[in-house]
Structure 1
Amino acid sequence: MAHDEVVRRYSGLARAALTGETVVDCATDEFGEGHFGTAGYDDTSGLPGGALRASLGCGNPVAVAELRAGETVLDLGSGGGIDVLLSARRVGPYGKAYGLDASPDMIELARRNAAEAGAANVEFLHGTIEDIPLPGRTVDVIISNCVVNLSDDKAAVLSEAFRVLRPGGRLGISDVVTDGDTDPVRRAAAERRVGCEAGALSVPEYRDLLRATGFVGATIVLTADHGDGVHSAIVRAAKPAIGPGLEIRPMRDSDAEQVLAIYQLGLDTGQASFETTAPSWAGFTANRPANLRHVAVDTETGDVVAWVAASPVSSRPVYAGVVEHSIYVHPGCQAHGIGRSLLAAFIAASEEAGVWTIQSGIFPENAASLSLHQALGFRVVGTRERMGRHHGAWRDVLLIERRSAVAGA
């Protein structure tokens, strides 16, 4: 279903709700039996009747997101405002709850419900979930209730969610997904039956998209089964945490010049590698998969201040989950915890990609790198003596590795 059709459909439902009707956005029997609407909530006491009548979700994202007092939360596709009002209770008077919806009628309905509830810490925004009208890094938590599946550009939705979340921010949504090998025709019919006209992502597709966007710690838990491979699900993920003024995201081709410059600065110290000259960008990316390359950037200037990347150690299937990594921090940005945050995010991303062993080699003299890695679970497994000559001297190399307790367990 195209965007304009979605807006028209839900605007019509909002107008019906404004006149006092209870509305549904899928087959009536499916709505009641599939835990849609208010059936997914534990406690809706004290909420305006208008918010309850227009509840069209497939779960309880407010509970999923584990909201805390003082946080700022954004509901993507807020409809009549039920999740915004529940969120406002959770975050308290020093927190803020935003609702975003593309339907002007839904915004009118939600604002009316908020006024009736006396909620002073809420704000409803008119706009699309593919182009969120908020500055970057302003939200602690993003929730959504059975709305992302309605978008025909889900990559843009998750990219925007990542943009507006603060580092360490959380994504906790209810959505519709597909699972299994059901006949496509029957699956499409089931999606239409539950109101998912744009087509739901499969569980693997959802995981891959979250990872490609830069989210870590993704979990997808199936809840209600709507038949023919279609399920409601709880989707959780996080934006990597790092200190103020910084952000961790996937490496882009546009980062090439700065990444290679930091690489060369590290090589110039004589303690980073046997290499003396950074490769070309084509050489750098040739054996380093895109999903295992991340950067830390200055959010004010956009400058890259550190990078981490990895490459498979072998093409043999038995080594599919073993990679060798490198991490470089700009000399002017060291000793600020950047490397630790970046390496922690990389470890989480690598585990989600099925990596069970991360390994590398470190010169014994590079005490800072050894300390960083040991703090995050790497251990020295051996020493390769007189491994090679570097600037006219023989150098030993410490072999380090980290075994995942998650991937490959």
Structure 2
Amino acid sequence: MPQQPSREQIIARYSDLARTAATGGRPSDGGPGAEPDACCGAAAYPAGEPVPEAARRASLGCGNPLAVAEIAPGETVLDLGSGGGLDVILSARRTGPAGRVYGLDASTDMIALATANARQAGAGNVEFLHGHLEEIPLPDRHIDVVISNCVINLSTDKPAALAEAFRVLRPGGRLGITDVIAADGLSPERRRAAEEATGCAAGTVTADDYRDQLLDAGFTTATVQVTHPLTGGALHSAIVKATKPAAPDGVEIRPMRATDAAQVLAIYQEGLDTGHAGFEVTAPSWEDFDAGKLPRHRHVAVDTATGDLLGWVAVSPVSSRRVYRGVVENSVYVGTAARGRGVGAALLTALIDSTETAGIWTIQSGVFPENTVSLALHERAGFRVVGTRERIGRHHGRWRDVLFIERRSPTAGTDH
């Protein structure tokens, strides 16, 4: 079975293509026996917008990410794998002089070609960076929109590349890319053969795997839409869209990590100490907490100035039975010092978005009637009171009622 190319081999191949385009040739990214339109290049873009011919020749993408990302004036954009600079030039026109566009590429030959093309196009609000998708040389929360055209699949560590895209995006920032994905059910041998024939794909994943990797990276909304088949339907071009959770000023919502354990449990204990957050008296150990919470739906709110945790949200499965696979129970805790800043609402919104993306159809919880702040928070997020479980348990020596609340997804679990 053919081996997946190394990072060095991929860079060398695209450097050769850049040199071909720079000297007036028309590079082709197809491998042995590739279909003529395996990578559709500039054909995916509407005709009529003037750009340097060398930038069009060097376009080796599988779609038009600018039609996906909806770039607005004044935004800061990052193109991952910017190649000959076509998407950077077109993005710069959409952001206008108040915006900024970065192009990142691992090939110095591509950067030289793109720099010349941008200069010829008169794009003054652009900057090309030499680096890798897995180690983006930009600070945290610096970008409004990340775009990419048939490049993420080339990463030898796709989860790291997506995590880096998440890191550099500002809260509420969005990812809008085109990429190549694998059809469901392919054997490893057939998938690898299809990738080799396509030429512009290496290490593809299915739509479901792509969506899961976006959730793992911290994106809470994610869609993968197939556009057209490649290599007889073994691979497909796809539009991939995702959003980083919005947050109040000075706050970022990101995935919970093991290194957050001490602060997560401290906030947990702080809530329990109020006497209205739950029946427990002492927060669990991290091992028990970690074992009981589902991955991909554990989010923390972080103060961007100090790095301190302000709150967290997570869900637990309500049953191991498959019939209840789309039903979870949520917990949301905000530290005392962070209350009143909108942290709880942002965390709960992030949780709703990530569970919707994963196809979860019901989020439920139990809240003491005295916890009016939590009840109001959940009501604003679309939860409703289903009923009251009277005298369901004793807490600090007295019987307590619990209001049973739930939110039903308007989309997941609605098929008949």
Q: Give 1:173's aligned residue.
A: 177
Work out whether residues 30 and 193 of structure 1, in 8 Å CA contact, stay in contact via their aligned partners in 2.
Answer: yes
Q: Give 2:373's aligned residue.
A: 368
Q: Give 1:249's aligned residue.
A: 254
1:89 aligns with 2:93: yes
Q: Give 1:347's aligned residue.
A: 352
1:205 aligns with 2:245: no
The DSSP-based 3-state class of the residue aligned with 2:392 is strand
The DSSP-based 3-state class of the residue aligned with 2:341 is coil
Name the CA distance, whole Å, in 2 between partners of 1:266 and 1:355.
Answer: 27
1:46 to 21, 46, 50: 50
Work out whether residues 364 and 398 of structure 1, in 8 Å CA contact, stay in contact via their aligned partners in 2.
Answer: yes
The DSSP-based 3-state class of the residue aligned with 1:46 is coil
User: Residue type matched to 1:331 in 2?
Assistant: T
In the TM superposition, residue 198 of structure 1 has moved relative to its aligned partner by: 2.6
- What's the TM-score, normalizing by structure 1? 0.97
Name the CA distance, whole Å, in 1 between partners of 2:266 and 2:163.
Answer: 27
Q: Give 1:80's aligned residue.
A: 84
1:148 to 148, 152, 155: 152
Q: Which runs of 5+ in 2 are unaligned?
A: none
In the TM superposition, residue 43 of structure 1 has moved relative to its aligned partner by: 3.5
Instruction: Describe how 1:261-340 pairs up with structure 2 within 5 A.
Output: 261-340=266-345
- What's the TM-score, normalizing by structure 2? 0.95
Work out whether residues 27 and 194 of structure 1, in 8 Å CA contact, stay in contact via their aligned partners in 2.
Answer: yes
1:384 to 376, 386, 389: 389
In the TM superposition, residue 35 of structure 1 has moved relative to its aligned partner by: 6.0
User: Residue type matched to 1:317 in 2?
Assistant: R
In the TM superposition, residue 389 of structure 1 has moved relative to its aligned partner by: 2.3
The DSSP-based 3-state class of the residue aligned with 2:382 is coil
1:62 to 52, 62, 66: 66
In the TM superposition, residue 302 of structure 1 has moved relative to its aligned partner by: 1.7
Name the CA distance, whole Å, in 2 between partners of 1:318 and 1:378.
Answer: 22
Q: Evaluate the alpha carbon distance shift between residue 183 and residue 325 of structure 1 in structure 2; reply closer, same or farther with a 3 A threshold.
A: closer
User: Residue type matched to 1:231 in 2?
Assistant: H
The DSSP-based 3-state class of the residue aligned with 2:296 is helix
In the TM superposition, residue 195 of structure 1 has moved relative to its aligned partner by: 1.4
Work out whether residues 38 and 200 of structure 2, in 8 Å CA contact, stay in contact via their aligned partners in 1.
Answer: no
Instruction: Describe how 1:218-237 pairs up with structure 2 within 5 A.
Output: 218-226=222-230, 227-237=232-242
Work out whether residues 272 and 278 of structure 2, in 8 Å CA contact, stay in contact via their aligned partners in 1.
Answer: yes
The DSSP-based 3-state class of the residue aligned with 1:15 is helix
1:162 to 162, 166, 175: 166
CA displacement 1:284-303 (0-9 Å, x = unmatched):
12221222211111122221
Name the CA distance, whole Å, in 2 between partners of 1:187 and 1:390.
Answer: 57
Paired residues in the alignment total 409
Name the CA distance, whole Å, in 1 between partners of 2:8 and 2:188.
Answer: 25
Q: Evaluate the alpha carbon distance shift between residue 253 and residue 195 of structure 1 in structure 2; reply closer, same or farther with a 3 A threshold.
A: same
Instruction: Describe how 1:8-47 pairs up with structure 2 within 5 A.
Output: 8-27=12-31, 30=34, 32-34=36-38, 36-43=40-47, 45-47=49-51
In the TM superposition, residue 179 of structure 1 has moved relative to its aligned partner by: 1.2
CA displacement 1:187-245 (0-9 Å, x = unmatched):
32221122145321111211111111111211111112012420111100011110122
Name the CA distance, whole Å, in 1 between partners of 2:53 and 2:110.
Answer: 15
Name the CA distance, whole Å, in 1 between partners of 2:155 and 2:329.
Answer: 38
Work out whether residues 262 and 330 of structure 1, in 8 Å CA contact, stay in contact via their aligned partners in 2.
Answer: yes
User: Residue type matched to 2:225 in 1?
Assistant: V
Name the CA distance, whole Å, in 2 between partners of 1:218 and 1:337.
Answer: 24
In the TM superposition, residue 393 of structure 1 has moved relative to its aligned partner by: 2.7
Q: Give 1:395's aligned residue.
A: 400
The DSSP-based 3-state class of the residue aligned with 1:359 is strand
Name the CA distance, whole Å, in 2 between partners of 1:76 and 1:312.
Answer: 37
CA displacement 1:347-371 (0-9 Å, x = unmatched):
1111222211111111111111111
Work out whether residues 181 and 229 of structure 1, in 8 Å CA contact, stay in contact via their aligned partners in 2.
Answer: no
Work out whether residues 143 and 172 of structure 1, in 8 Å CA contact, stay in contact via their aligned partners in 2.
Answer: yes
The DSSP-based 3-state class of the residue aligned with 2:411 is coil
User: Residue type matched to 2:250 in 1?
Assistant: G
Work out whether residues 292 and 349 of structure 1, in 8 Å CA contact, stay in contact via their aligned partners in 2.
Answer: yes
- Greater alpha carbon shift after TM alignment, 43-52 vs 73-82: 43-52
Work out whether residues 186 and 228 of structure 1, in 8 Å CA contact, stay in contact via their aligned partners in 2.
Answer: no
Q: Give 1:6's aligned residue.
A: 10
Q: Evaluate the alpha carbon distance shift between residue 169 and residue 103 of structure 1 in structure 2; reply closer, same or farther with a 3 A threshold.
A: same
Work out whether residues 76 and 142 of structure 1, in 8 Å CA contact, stay in contact via their aligned partners in 2.
Answer: yes
Question: RMSD across aligned C-alpha pairs, in angstroms?
Answer: 1.5
Q: Evaluate the alpha carbon distance shift between residue 43 and residue 306 of structure 1 in structure 2; reply closer, same or farther with a 3 A threshold.
A: farther
Name the CA distance, whole Å, in 2 between partners of 1:180 and 1:390.
Answer: 51
User: Residue type matched to 2:64 in 1?
Assistant: N
Q: Percent identity?
A: 60
Name the CA distance, whole Å, in 1 between partners of 2:217 and 2:291.
Answer: 21
In the TM superposition, residue 180 of structure 1 has moved relative to its aligned partner by: 2.4
Name the CA distance, whole Å, in 2 between partners of 1:102 and 1:192.
Answer: 21
